[in-house]
Amino acid sequence: MSAHHHHHENHDHSRGASGSVIENKLTWALAITVGIFAMELIGGFFSNSLALKSDAGHLLGDVMALGLSLFAVKIAKLPATSKRTFGYHRSEVLAAVINGSTLLFLAIYIFIEAYQRLLHPEPIKSVMMLIIAVLGLAANLLVLFRLHGHASENLNVRAAFLHVVGDMLASVGVVIGGLIMLLTGNYLADPIISFLVGLIILFGAAGVIREALNILLEGAPQNIDYALLKADIEGIDGILSVHDLHIWTLSSANVVLSAHVMVHEQSTHLSQEILRSVKSVLQAKYGIRHATIQIECQCCSQVECGCEVF
């Protein structure tokens, strides 16, 4: 009979700063972004600027991203049940698929409209467009400033932060396009800027869908090198090898690991020491807090195993 020690690490899925502070930051940022979206959408129709409406479409992606992050923070508070032992973290991933798919169709629509504008340029109220674009850019900078402090602590906030960075770059393009039209009267700048904004939306949508599908397919997180992690565990004193190593993602902020660890010899003291070392490496270098480690002794392959069964 093989001797082993089964160890289940910390079940706390919370990460980084306190959930309440992050929730307040995201709520505040979401409210501002919804306001900018409404302003640019209405302004785009009144000024007849496709670039402004395209930027509003990109803002719609930001609204969904911020809403998704806020939803993830709230859903993470729900306790696990006997039916859903991991809780409701995967709800975030399903919402991300919807988010990415919506952005994908929006980008295609912008490309079609921009192509029509290239063939048949239309006059734009450049002054109105420029004023609204500058206000939108200023508001984006304000949101970035508010989220920046927590972007390095929480993956959900970081994802929302990167969405807003993309929109800020799109807003800069719209402002430049508005200045060109105002100074030269060349309205071709409007569909050209719209194409660029559409590309930013398309790139963001592809990233969201790719990451969500990787999670749903139980793929290893993209930011974790499987071979390097395995080597780090095998480099711990007392460990001979690691096998049946599995790394997967519950949601963007929750990585789970399970592994069988072969050791030279097994005792209560040595097993606990090795488990503490593995836990330290996983948390410090990879941010993994939820791990199931099974300890196996080299002598367990013998007929008479001297190991104590835990």
Averaged pLDDT for residues 27-39: 87
Task: Give residue 227's pLDDT.
Answer: 92
**pLDDT score, position 69:** 73
Class of domain 19-216: mainly alpha
User: Per-residue pLDDT tens for 82-91?
Assistant: 887 777 777 7
Q: What distances in angstroms separate CA 309 from CA 260, 274, 278, 296, one per listed residue? A: 15, 16, 20, 10
Q: Residue 160 pLDDT more than 80?
A: no
In this prediction, residue 13 has a pLDDT band, given cuts at 50, 70 and 90, of very low
Each domain of the chain, given as residue ranges in start order, spans: 19-216, 221-301
Of 44-53, 141-150, 202-211, the range with the lowest mean pLDDT is 141-150
Q: What is the pLDDT of residues 270-302, one digit of tens each?
A: 788 889 999 999 988 888 888 888 888 866 554
pLDDT digits (tens, 9 = 90+) for 57-115: 878 877 887 787 787 777 767 777 888 777 777 777 777 787 788 878 888 888 988 88
DSSP 154-220: -HHHHHHHHHHHHHHHHHHHHHHHHHHHHHH--TTHHHHHHHHHHHHHHHHHHHHHHHHHHHHTTPP
More confident residue, 232 or 102: 232
CATH 1.10.10.2520 fits 221-301, yes or no: no
Cα–Cα distance for residue pair 60/99, rounded to 1 Å? 10
- pLDDT of 260: 92
pLDDT tens, 117-150? Answer: 888 887 888 888 888 889 888 888 888 887 776 6
pLDDT of residue 91: 74
pLDDT of 4 above 60? no
- Order of strands, sheet of 239-251, starting from the edge strand that comes earlier in the sequence: 4-8, 290-297, 254-263, 239-251
Q: Phi/psi of residue 294, each to 5°?
A: -110, 120
**What average pLDDT is seen over the chain?**
79
**Cα–Cα dist 248/156, whole Å:** 17
